[in-house]
Amino acid sequence: MIVINERSPIPIYEQIIQQLKELILKGAVTSGEKLPSVRELSATILVNPNTVSKAYQELERQGVIETLRGKGTYVCSQQAAKITPEMLEQIRQSLKQTVLEASYAGISGEQLKTWIDQYLLELRSGTNA
Amino acid sequence: MIVINERSPIPIYEQIIQQLKELILKGAVTSGEKLPSVRELSATILVNPNTVSKAYQELERQGVIETLRGKGTYVCSQQAAKITPEMLEQIRQSLKQTVLEASYAGISGEQLKTWIDQYLLELRSGTNA
Amino acid sequence: MIVINERSPIPIYEQIIQQLKELILKGAVTSGEKLPSVRELSATILVNPNTVSKAYQELERQGVIETLRGKGTYVCSQQAAKITPEMLEQIRQSLKQTVLEASYAGISGEQLKTWIDQYLLELRSGTNA
Amino acid sequence: MIVINERSPIPIYEQIIQQLKELILKGAVTSGEKLPSVRELSATILVNPNTVSKAYQELERQGVIETLRGKGTYVCSQQAAKITPEMLEQIRQSLKQTVLEASYAGISGEQLKTWIDQYLLELRSGTNA
DNA sequence: GTGGTCTAGACCACT
DNA sequence: GTGGTCTAGACCACT
């Protein structure tokens, strides 16, 4: 369910984080569900275990998943997600940056809004991106 | 007119690129206008000349500015901007990623759209962000 | 009487050790009293028997409890507790470490001392923490 | 200035974190000061660069130090330290645990308080522990 | 020069 | 079985 793009400038552990979050939001992986172990996932997606481990640790720090010692890693109930003002500002900044690039490329605000709606729909319906 | 944040996760040369593009879109710097030299700008914003140079090179590669040997660096007329399908896809991806993070933080699509409109307004009116 | 927190960073067997020691110090479990068997306790607190077994072994090693083959596990008379210089040093170190973290968090020495008195009172009065 | 104990149960990266915090609290390393680079420190204390890097990243997350890309790592002005309720509770818990062990070892509350004062004095006077 | 990421593989504590 | 730590060493982006 997770696909790594080795040529992407986005670090592999970030790709894992993003895709797991997407799977959770889509409901493909639900609260309380056990995730594949570090070794399993690393074997499946052909990535070093350390890299998967780094992704899991970061997701735990963000309150998305939790680790029970010796038992495995589980998806948290999502109301636990911790949002800080810094995270909010970072989202605003990255949106701003995207809009700037889009303006440069001649993409209208309307087009961007349509894409937002499309993607939100995908998330809600659990469709693949 | 350019302000660098050393602590930002965005590389300094990227900050220069973004802010120059923003200034151009806002009309604060117009087509054909001469930009400060690498040395001038690096002295003004207290940044290593290599870093400014890297920003200028990237902007030139993107068709935003052009360097005339011995004469200086000038803003291109903007219809020249080259939009490739890859750039378009990259914009879609970064928008998608922002929406994903926003969803996680409980930010609605409506909120994101409002922010887009706000920012576009800023660009058009030439107001500072 | 023992409550395990699976999410705690403290290993489960350590939690058992701590809580048993606390119960003994509070007088809720007295010298010579028989403890539940490994199987009983593991069934009560929903923990793997190996984990309870590990806790009991460590408590025995520390001279807190003793196992009589075929008869069960009993609380030792507590003057038997063996304090080595290493244990003393370890206590000093962990106190030092706690004070360091507290200083960082802006917690005063007075506050720490108040907490110590509070907790000692709890132990003596047998109140629950 | 940093000494690693390979036999300690405390992870090496944690030892680095603790000792750097101690050096900062003692004023041996002051706000704005540049720390040794990852490579330098790793060579000095004979530890793998990855391990030092992990310590630095965690300290940055805690707001103790900050990394300027390509320039190095610097001590933050300490009012920036972020204290969460979870951290406070964790400090209380580790104090409680220490008091419990101390009680078991026959160490009085008074003794513990004396040690606290001693260590705080060391921190303030910049004396070595 | 700086730190960040990644692989490969070992070892360990915990359940 | 589970995840966490660590070494050794490569490569990369940024200043």
pLDDT by residue (tens digit) across A63-98?
999 999 999 999 998 765 677 888 888 999 999 999
- Whether B16 and B72 map to the same domain: the answer is yes
The answer to whether position C91 is within a domain reads yes
Residue B21 Ramachandran class (φ > 0 left, ψ -120 to 50 alpha, else beta): alpha
Q: Are residues C58 and C103 in the same domain?
A: no
In window 28-67 of A, residues with CB < 7 A from nucleic chain F are 35, 37-40, 49-50, 53, 56-57, 60, 67
Distance from CA of A109 to the nearest CA of B (A): 7
What string of DSSP letters covers D38-68? HHHHHHHTT--HHHHHHHHHHHHHTTSEEEE
CA nearest neighbour of D54 among D13, D4, D9, D10: D13
Which of chain F's bases lie under 7 Å from a protein CB? 1-10, 13-15
* Strand nucleotide closest to residue B55 (CA to C1'): F14
> Which residue does chain C place closest to D85, by CA atoms?
C105
Q: Which two tokens stand for residue D91?
A: 């400090």
According to DSSP, the β-strands at A72-75 and A65-68 are antiparallel
Residues of chain D with pLDDT below 50 are 129
- The rounded mean pLDDT for chain A is 92
Q: Would you write out chain C's pLDDT as a tens digit for each of its 129 residues?
A: 899 999 898 999 999 999 999 999 998 999 899 999 999 999 999 999 999 999 999 999 888 999 998 899 999 877 655 678 888 888 999 999 999 999 988 899 999 999 999 999 999 887 654
Is residue D2 domain-resident? no
In a domain, A3, yes or no: no
Do the beta carbons of residue B99 and residue A116 sit within 8 Å?
yes
Q: CA-CA distance, D59 to C104, in Å (whole number)?
A: 12
Q: Please name the residues in contact with B75: beta carbons below 8 A apart, sequence gap of 6 or more.
A: B24, B29, B30, B31, B32, B33, B35, B64, B65
CA angle D97, D103, D106 (to 5 degrees): 145
Name the percent of chain A lying above pLDDT 70: 95
> Based on the domain organization, do D76 and D37 belong to the same domain?
yes
Is C32 domain-assigned? yes
Per DSSP bridges, beta strands B34-35 and B72-75 are: antiparallel
Q: Do D66 and B11 touch (CB under 8 A)?
A: no
Predicted local distance difference test score (pLDDT) of residue C127: 66
Q: Which amino acid is at D41?
A: L
The secondary element (H helix, E strand) that includes residue A66 is strand A65-68
Q: Do chains D and B touch (3 or more CB pairs under 8 A)?
A: yes
The closest alpha carbon to D41, from D33, D29, D51, D31, belongs to: D51
pLDDT for residue B60:
93
The CA distance from D129 to D124, in Å, is 11
D17, D72: one domain: yes
- What gap in Å lies between CA B108 and CA B99, rounded to an integer? 9
Vertex C50 angle, CA C49 and C56, to 5°: 90
A21 CA to F14 C1' in angstroms comes to 29
Shared domain check, A110 and A67: no
Those residues of chain C whose CB sits closer than 8 Å to some CB in chain D are: 18, 21-22, 25, 64, 81, 83, 87-88, 90-92, 94-107, 109, 112-113, 115-117, 119-120, 123, 129
- Let me know if residue D33 belongs to a domain: yes
Burial class (CB in 10 A: 0-12, 13-18, 19+), B107: buried
Q: pLDDT tens, C81-107?
A: 567 888 888 899 999 999 999 998 889
Q: Residues B61, A84: contact at Cβ < 8 Å?
A: no
Q: How far is B102 from B119, CA to CA, in rounded Å?
A: 17
Distance in Å, alpha carbon of D66 to nearest chain B alpha carbon: 8
Q: Are residues D68 and D114 in the same domain?
A: no
A81 vs B123: CB contact, 8 Å cut-off? no
In angstroms, the Cα distances linking A51 to A16, C96, D112 are 9, 34, 43
pLDDT in tens, A34-62: 999 999 999 999 999 999 999 999 999 99
Chain C residues inside the 8 Å CB shell of A66? 7
The secondary structure of chain B, three-state, reads: CCCCCCCCCCCHHHHHHHHHHHHHHHCCCCCCCEECCHHHHHHHCCCCHHHHHHHHHHHHHCCCEEEECCCEEEECCHHHCCCCHHHHHHHHHHHHHHHHHHHHCCCCHHHHHHHHHHHHHHHHHCCCC
Burial call A69-105: b when 16+ CB within 10 Å, e when fewer: eeeebbbbeeeebeeeeebeeebbebbbbbbbbbbbe
On whether both D63 and D42 belong to a single domain, the answer is yes
Which of B88, B116, B124 to mutate to test binding with chain A, by most A CBs within 10 Å of its CB?
B116
C17 with C63: CB under 8 angstroms?
no
CATH code for the domain of D48: 1.10.10.10
Q: Which of B16, B62, B96 to mutate to test the interface with A (most CBs of A within 10 A)?
A: B96
Q: Are B52 and A70 in contact (CB under 8 A)?
A: no
**Helix, strand or coil for residue D126?**
coil
Q: Are C31 and C76 in contact (CB under 8 A)?
A: yes
Structural domain includes residue C7: no
Encode chain B (129 residues) as per-residue pLDDT tens digits.
899 999 898 999 999 999 999 999 998 999 899 999 999 999 999 999 999 999 999 999 888 999 998 899 999 877 655 678 888 888 999 999 999 999 988 899 999 999 999 999 999 887 654
From the number of C-beta atoms within 10 Å of its C-beta (0-12, 13-18, 19+), residue B21 rates as: buried
- Residue B46 sits in which domain range? 12-80
What type of residue sits at position B60?
A: E
So what's the pLDDT on residue D81?
62
User: C73 pairs with which residues across the strands?
Assistant: C35, C67
Contact A91, B107 (CB under 8 A): yes
A58 and A117 belong to one structural domain: no
| Residues of D in Cβ contact (< 8 Å) with C21 | 100, 104
Q: Is B129 in contact with A98 (Cβ distance < 8 A)?
A: no
Identify the residue whose tokens are 């979050």: A21
Please tell me the predicted confidence (pLDDT) of residue A81: 62
Contacts of A66 (CB under 8 A, 6+ apart): A60, A73, A74, A76, C7
CB D100 within 8 A of CB C25: yes
Judge whether residue B56 contacts strand F, using its CB and a 7 Å cut-off: no
Same domain (yes/no): B16, B73: yes
C54 and C31 co-located in one domain: yes
Domain assignment present for residue D46? The answer is yes
Domain count, chain A: 2
Same domain, B91 and B63: no
Statement to judge: residues B57 and B117 lie in one domain: no
Residue A4 domain-assigned (yes or no): no
